[in-house]
Amino acid sequence: MEHIIYRWDLDKTYLRTEFETVKGLIRTAFQSAEEKESVPGAPSLLKELQKDEANSVYFISGSPKQMRKVLEKKLRIDGINWTELVLKPNLQNLLHGRFHALREQIGYKLPVLLEDRVKSGQRNREVLFGDDAESDAYIYSLYADTIAGKVGEGTIEEIMDLARVPSANRKKSFHAVGRLEHSDAVGRIFIYLEKRSPPKGFDVYGSRVVPIYNYFQAVLILYREKLMGMTSVIRVILDLVFEHRTPPSVFANSFQDLLRRGVIDMSKSVEIIDGIRRNLNQKIIPLPQNFYEDLMAMLDALKEVENKDVAVSVAEPIDYVGLYIDQHRKLARQRKSMFDRLFG
C-alpha cells in the first residue's frame, strides 16, 4: 500500500459540533474533552488508516487556538495520533481588527494546506476529509487543482481579493505555490454530509469529491481504492455495530446509495460483499442475533441494483471564481437566516 497523507477537518467532520445556535456555540466552547462526541465511525476509521505507520494524519480546524488542550485531549481519548493539528488564530484576528477573517476560511485554510504540502514531502498522495457546513469541498478542490497545476496564481489572487484575504496569508500562499511540484496528488475528497445537503450540489467539483452520509461509505470507497484492507473494513463495521448500535439496514442502504450514485461499480461491490461475508463470519466476537444473516441477505439483494457507470475524473475545468461568487451569495443567505433564527 502507498503512504498517504490524510487531512481532516475537525468540527462536524470528526467531531459532532453544533454552532448553528447560541446554546450550541456556548456548549462547544465550554465542553470538556470527555464531553465532546466524535462522529460515529470517524475514530475507528482514522485508527485503521494509521495502522500503516508511514501514513500521516493532519488536522486543520476552524476552532480557535485556545481550544488546543481540549481537542488534543479528546483525540488522545479516542486513541488517535496526529502529525499536526492546526487551529485558527482567532484571538490574533480579533486583536488586529480582522473581523472578516474570524469566519473566513479560504484565507486561513489554503495557505496552511499549501505550506504543509511543500513542507511534508511532495511525493505523497493525499486524501482529504471535510464536511458540508462551510466551504470544505471548495477549498480542498482548489488546493488539489493548485497542486496539480490546473489553477494559476492569477485565479488564486482573484479569489483572495474576493475573500479579502490579509496580505500575510497571501504571501504565504504564493510562496508555497512557487515551490510546488505539480502532480495529481489528491485522489479523493470526502465530504461528510452533516447537514444532509443535497449531493447534487457537489457535482460541480467532479467525481474526486464524494459526498458521504457516514464513515461506512468512506470505508467502502477506501477499500475500493486499495487504501484499506478488508480486515479494517470489518473493524469499522464492528465499531459501528457495537458502539453505535447500527442496524443491518443502515449498512445495506448506505451501500446501495453509493451504487446508485455510481460511486462504486457493481463488479467491485460483489467483491466487497463476498469479502464482508467471509471476514465477518470468522469474527470471534458474537454479533447481535440475526445480524449477520440479515446483513448478508440485504447486501446480496444489492446485486440487483441498476448500477451506473462509474465516472473517475473531473470532466470540466472548475470555474473557481464564479463558484466563489455563487457560494458567497448562498452563504450570506444562510447566515442571514441563521441570524434570523437566533435573534429574529
How far is Cα 37 from Cα 283, in angstroms, rounded to an integer? Answer: 28
Residue count of the chain, please give it. Answer: 344
Q: Is 309 in the site for other proteins (CB under 8 A)?
A: no
Return d(Cα 30, Cα 226) in angstroms, integer. 40
User: Rule CB under 8 A: is residue 306 a binding residue for other proteins?
Assistant: yes
Q: Does 261 bind other proteins (CB under 8 A)?
A: yes
Considering only residues 151 through 170, tell me which ones interact with other proteins, judged by CB under 8 A.
Answer: none
Q: Pick the piece of the chain touching other proteins (CB under 8 A) from 99-107, 145-153, 161-169, 302-310.
A: 302-310
In angstroms, give the least distance from the CB of 217 to other proteins.
9
Q: What does the alpha-carbon distance between residue 280 and residue 151 come to, in Å, rounded to a whole number?
A: 45
Q: Is the CB of 159 or the CB of 287 nearer to other proteins?
A: 287
What per-residue string of b and e applies to 121-131 under the rule 16 or more CB within 10 Å gives b? eeebebbbbbb
For other proteins, which stretch binds (CB under 8 A), given 44-52, 65-73, 83-91, 252-260? 252-260
CB of 308 to other proteins, least distance (A): 8
By beta-carbon proximity to other proteins, the closer residue of 167 and 289 is 289
Listed ranges 53-61, 98-106, 300-308, 314-322: which one lies at the site for other proteins (CB under 8 A): 300-308
Please report whether residue 226 would count as binding other proteins according to CB under 8 A.
no
Site string for other proteins, 186-225 (x = CB under 8 A): ---------xxxxxx--x---------xx-----------
Q: Please choose, from the candidates 62, 140, 66, the residue with its C-alpha nearest in 3D space to the C-alpha of residue 104.
A: 62
Question: Rounded to the nearest 10 degrees, how much is the dihedral formed by the CA atoms of 139, 141, 142, 145?
Answer: 160
Question: Would you tell me how many other CB atoms lie within 10 Å of the CB of residue 62?
Answer: 22
H or E segment and range at residue 58: strand 56-64
228 binds other proteins (CB under 8 A): no
Query: Residue 87 in 3-state DSSP?
Result: strand
Q: Distances from the Cα of 187 to the Cαs of 54, 141, 221, 332, in angstroms?
A: 17, 11, 11, 31
Task: Kindly state the cell numbers that stand for 42.
Answer: 470517524
C-alpha dihedral sign at 77, 244, 25, 143:
positive
Quick one: which of 75, 252, 273, 314 contacts other proteins (CB under 8 A)? 252
CB of 199 to other proteins, least distance (A): 5
Q: How far is the CB of 257 from other proteins (least distance, A)?
A: 4
| Shortest separation between residue 188's beta carbon and other proteins, angstroms | 19
Residue numbers of the site for other proteins (CB under 8 A)? Answer: 195-200, 203, 213-214, 247, 249-250, 252-254, 256-257, 260-261, 304-306, 308
